[in-house]
Each structure stands twice: as C-alpha cells, then as structure tokens.
C-alpha cells in the first residue's frame, strides 16, 4: 500500500475529466498541471466500453470534442488526433459530423497518452472519500481517497466525474445476477454467455442503449429468439430540431441555472426526447428494416412489444418468468425467457460515492454552484467539483459531450482563482 499527495485529484478518466485535464494542461499554470492526477478504475482508457459496438456512432458532432469549443487551436482536438494518426483525409471523405463510437474511444486514449504534465493512472478504483479537517471545527482542508487495493491519495481539490450508477428497476432486483444484464455491462456479460448461449432473450427499454443491445444480439446470439419490451407507444426518433439543439449550447447553462426550479424541471421533462427516450434516426431506420426483412423472409425471430410493462419477475423451473401487462387492455400474461437485458438507464440521484461523501462531510443536502463546486456550508480550503451529474441545475447537456470543453474551462478558472486569491498580492 502506498500514499501520495496531489493538488487536484479527478476520479474517472472519461470525457469529462479528460477535458478538464486538457484545460489544466493548456491553462499556462504548470504547477497546477504537475499536481493533477486522474484515476481510472478500468485497465485502459475507453468510452462507453460496454456498448462499444463496431457500427455504433456518436450522436454528437466531432467538433464538440474535449477542446475545440474552448480552444479551436488546441493540439488535443479530434481533428488533431486524426491528423496524428494519418486518418484525416479518409475521415473528411466520409462527409459526416458523427464518428464511430470506437473512433471517439481511440481519441480519448490518444489524448490521455499525449498529456505531458497531468498524470493518468489506470487500474485504480476509488472506493471511499473522507474529508481532511484541521482544525476539526473548520471546513475540509482536503480529501483522502482510498483505493480498492488499499492505496490512498490525499488532495486539496477533488473532482468526481465517474458517471452515474446503473438503474435496475425494483421489479428485477430479486432475479439472480447471472440472469440480468444491465447495458453498463453488456459486452462483458454477453461474452460470458457465449459458452451456453440463451435461447430466449428479453431486452427491456425503449431508448438508444436498449435498441443497440437488441440489434447487437442478432449477431452475438444468432440462434436466440429476441423480444424487446417498450412501455411507450413504440420506438421513437430523438428530437433533433436545430431550435431545440440550441439548448445544448454551453451558453444556455447560464440561462438555465438562473431560472426558477419549477421551470428547470419543466424544461428537463420537455427535453427527454432529445436524449433519454429516443433513438438516432438513422439507427431507428436500420432496426425497422431488419425486422421488416425478417417478416418478409419468413424467419421472424425477433419482436418488439410496445405499450407493455413488466409487473413482476421471478425464476421458476429454471426459467425467468416475466409478468407482462398490456397497457391497452390491462391484461397480464407470463413470458418465459433465459436472460433479461436492461436498457433502463442510470439512477437520477447523485452517485452513491457522492452521497457517501456528503454523509462523511456532514452535508444535509447536495447542491452545486454555477461553477460546479459542491456547496460545503462555509469557507473551506479544499473543494469538490461534480461533473456530469448536475442536470437539475445546469441543464440536460450536463451529462453529455456538448458542454465538456466549456465546463472544463470554468472549473479550471475556479481552481486557479481560488489559488490566486490566497496568494499575497505581490506574488500574483
């Protein structure tokens, strides 16, 4: 077991914290960059690793990368990555703003390798955060993070950007772990199923992740009968209006943050179809075409059941039995299967790690400032910044790629301002 001390510790090395690392590296403050460490629990940098399917595309323009909207001349842009890899001509020839998901993943790995001052440590899972207090009656002077292997890292400022926790609806909570696969573990678990492939698989959910699993299973489980359960009237396109897309501009964050809480909630509800309850239009067409071909060729091994909800789930005689309620008639009927795959998204609450941190810090509630800093209830030498979990106060784009570069700049500016404010005037 080892112990080290750093100035800034960021938990998670996904797009959010890598964008922050780039902003810190380009901030002109080498002392801040040299004292910044990113922890990634996985053995290597990857993006949406469990849904890193060969045909899956990003739904966001490549121009909304880790740096371009903050610094169009950055050497960490997606175009710089393509140029360094000798792929720029080929990508331009595709005529698209939407790279394959694996290209974005490769880009993130490249960025991590190009950092010269900020350190990225993979295979390091943070399991606990404790406040450091001296004296005890003042705010935290910093934070002590304990890793799964027993190592500890102390820091002044902490950035949590590891994403939300998987949401497993209560109706599935009692099923054996080997019979339920959440999308956050899709590739790993399906690979485990290859030895004894299920004959009947059910996918629950009506958004992009559920549809991608349903589509991928046709190749990965070629002999299985596949059923997709959708509670709504049917699979729908994302809302892609250019007018609505302006609500993903970084400039909209100020307007949203300053709005009354009831208006923010209403806007979030009305924007669900822009991200959480729909599919990318081209992919939706591909999915429909696949089902059409099955029907016309007389081998319909797949079905999508709309207006259907699961009211109970159990194991009986070696089978998973789902009680399905038809929302049109109210009738309930059983459906037997071998495995259930959940495209049910992520818990809307703050991540468990953040809630635990709040308990250890004595915070009655979790609130963040405009610059993403956790409100600690008074003056404090150490700070906590939260990335990607502030939709309620900063808008729906907070969990997406659209605002990465701008948010990274705002957090970096706050980190530097807090350090500068504590230095003597003659030193600044």
Q: Which one of 322, 342, 362 terminates a domain?
A: 342
Q: What is the pLDDT of residues 165-195, one digit of tens each?
A: 999 999 999 999 999 999 999 999 998 887 7
Q: Which one of 317, 342, 367 terminates a domain?
A: 342
Q: What is the 3-state secondary structure (H, E, C) of the chain?
A: CCEEEEEEEEECCCHHHHHHHHHHHCCCCHHHHHCEEEEECCCCCCCCHHHCCCCCECCCCCCCCCCCCCCCCCCCCHHHHHHHCCCHHHHHHHCCCCCEHHHHHHHHHHHHHHCCCCEEEECCCEEEEEEECCCCCCCCCEEEEEECCCCEEEEEEEEECCCCCECCCHHHCCCCHHHEEEHHHHHHHHHHHCCCCCCEEEEECCCHHHHHHHHHHHHHCCCCEEEEECCCCCCCECCCCHHHHHHHCCCHHHHHHCCCHHHHHHHHHHCHHHCCCCECHHHHHHHHHHHHHHHHCCCCCEEEECCEEEEEEEEECCEEEEEEEECCCCCEEEEEECEEEECCCECCCCCHHHHHHHHHHCCCCCCECCCCEECCCCCCCCEEEECCCCHHHHCHHHHCCCCHHHHHHHHHHHHHHHHHHCCCCCCC
Q: Is the pLDDT of residue 137 over 80?
A: no
Residue 155 lies in a domain: yes
Q: What is the pLDDT of residues 275-308, one digit of tens each?
A: 777 888 889 999 999 999 999 998 889 999 999 9
Mark whether 218 and 231 lie in a shared domain. Answer: yes
Which range marks the domain in which residue 353 is found? 3-165+347-421
Distance CA 132, CA 224 (A): 54
Mark whether 69 and 217 lie in a shared domain. Answer: no
Q: Which one of 320, 342, 364 terminates a domain?
A: 342
Closest alpha carbon to 206 in 159, 238, 240, 245? 238
**Dihedral over Cα of 342, 148, 5, 42: its sign:** negative
Mark whether 122 and 12 lie in a shared domain. Answer: yes
Question: Given pLDDT bands bounded at 50, 70 and 90, which one contains residue 350?
Answer: very high
Question: Given pLDDT bands bounded at 50, 70 and 90, which one contains residue 271?
Answer: confident
Average pLDDT over residues 333-349: 95
Average pLDDT over residues 392-396: 94
Mark whether 117 and 227 lie in a shared domain. Answer: no
Closest alpha carbon to 60 in 95, 96, 34, 33? 96
Q: Is the pLDDT of residue 377 over 90?
A: no
Residues 201 and 341 sit within 8 Å (Cβ to Cβ): yes
Distance CA 65, CA 108 (A): 9
Tally Cβ neighbours within 10 Å of residue 195. Answer: 6
Mark whether 198 and 155 lie in a shared domain. Answer: no
Q: Is the pLDDT of residue 427 over 60?
A: no
Q: Whole-prediction pTM value?
A: 0.93
Q: What is the pLDDT of residues 79-106, one digit of tens each?
A: 999 999 999 999 999 999 999 999 999 9
Q: Is the pLDDT of residue 423 over 70?
A: no
**Which CATH number characterizes residue 191's domain?**
3.50.50.60
Average pLDDT over residues 205-218: 94
Distance CA 40, CA 126 (A): 8
Q: Is the pLDDT of residue 248 over 80?
A: yes
Question: Given pLDDT bands bounded at 50, 70 and 90, which one contains residue 135?
Answer: low
pLDDT at 40: 97
pLDDT at 426: 36
Question: Given pLDDT bands bounded at 50, 70 and 90, which one contains residue 136?
Answer: low
Residue 304 lies in a domain: yes
Give 407's contacts (C-beta < 8 A, 6+ positions apart): 16, 19, 250, 253, 372, 387, 398
Residues 389 and 164 sit within 8 Å (Cβ to Cβ): yes
Quote the percentage of the chain above a pLDDT of 90.
Answer: 82
Distance CA 283, CA 55 (A): 10
- Of residues 138 and 139, which shows the higher confidence score? 139
Backbone φ and ψ for 338, nearest 5 degrees, come out as -105, -30
Q: Is the pLDDT of residue 261 over 50?
A: yes
Average pLDDT over residues 217-229: 93
Average pLDDT over residues 328-342: 96
Average pLDDT over residues 190-201: 86
Residue 258 lies in a domain: no
Q: Is the pLDDT of residue 355 over 80?
A: yes
Distance CA 303, CA 286 (A): 15
Give 191's contacts (C-beta < 8 A, 6+ positions apart): none
Average pLDDT over residues 394-401: 92
| Total number of domains constituting the chain | 2
pLDDT at 368: 96
pLDDT at 238: 83
Mark whether 338 and 351 lie in a shared domain. Answer: no
- Of residues 275 and 164, which shows the higher confidence score? 164
Q: Is the pLDDT of residue 401 over 60?
A: yes
Residue 335's DSSP bridge partners are 322
Mark whether 362 and 337 lie in a shared domain. Answer: no
């Amino acid at each position: 077991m080892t112990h080290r001390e750093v100035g800034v510790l960021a938990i998670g090395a996904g797009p959010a914290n890598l964008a922050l690392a780039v902003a810190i590296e380009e901030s002109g403050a080498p002392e801040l960059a040299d004292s910044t460490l990113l922890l990634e629990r996985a053995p290597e940098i990857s993006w949406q690793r469990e849904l890193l399917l060969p045909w899956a595309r990003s739904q966001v323009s490549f121009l909304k990368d880790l740096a371009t909207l903050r610094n169009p001349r950055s050497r960490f842009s997606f175009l710089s990555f393509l140029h360094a890899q000798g792929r720029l001509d080929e990508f331009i020839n595709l005529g698209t703003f939407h790279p394959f998901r694996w290209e974005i993943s490769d880009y993130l790995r490249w960025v991590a390798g190009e950092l010269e001052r900020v350190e990225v440590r993979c295979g390091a899972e943070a399991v606990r955060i404790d406040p450091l207090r001296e004296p005890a009656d003042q705010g935290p002077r910093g934070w002590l993070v304990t890793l799964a292997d027993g190592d500890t890292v102390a820091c002044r400022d902490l950035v949590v950007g590891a994403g939300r926790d998987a949401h497993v609806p209560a109706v599935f909570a009692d099923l054996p772990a080997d019979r339920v696969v959440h999308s956050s573990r899709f590739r790993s678990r399906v690979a485990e199923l290859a030895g004894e492939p299920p004959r009947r698989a059910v996918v629950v959910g009506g958004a992009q992740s559920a549809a991608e699993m349903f589509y991928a299973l046709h190749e990965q489980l070629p002999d299985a009968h596949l059923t997709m359960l959708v509670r709504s009237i049917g699979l729908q396109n994302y809302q892609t209006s250019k007018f609505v897309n302006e609500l993903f501009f970084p400039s909209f964050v100020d307007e949203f943050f300053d709005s009354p809480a009831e208006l923010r909630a209403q806007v979030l509800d009305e924007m669900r179809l822009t991200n959480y309850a729909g599919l990318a239009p081209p992919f939706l067409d591909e999915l429909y075409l696949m089902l059409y071909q099955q029907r016309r060729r007389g081998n319909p091994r797949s079905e999508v059941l709309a207006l259907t909800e699961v009211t109970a789930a159990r194991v009986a005689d070696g089978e998973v039995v789902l009680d399905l309620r038809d929302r049109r008639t109210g009738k309930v009927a059983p459906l037997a299967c071998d495995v259930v795959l959940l495209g049910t998204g992520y818990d809307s609450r703050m991540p468990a790690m953040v809630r635990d941190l709040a308990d250890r810090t004595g915070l009655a509630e979790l609130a963040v400032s405009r610059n993403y800093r956790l409100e600690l209830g008074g003056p404090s030498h150490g700070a906590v910044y939260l990335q990607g979990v502030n939709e309620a106060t900063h808008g729906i784009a907070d969990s997406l790629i659209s605002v990465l570069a701008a948010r990274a700049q705002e957090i970096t500016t706050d980190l530097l301002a807090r350090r500068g404010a504590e230095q003597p005037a003659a030193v600044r």
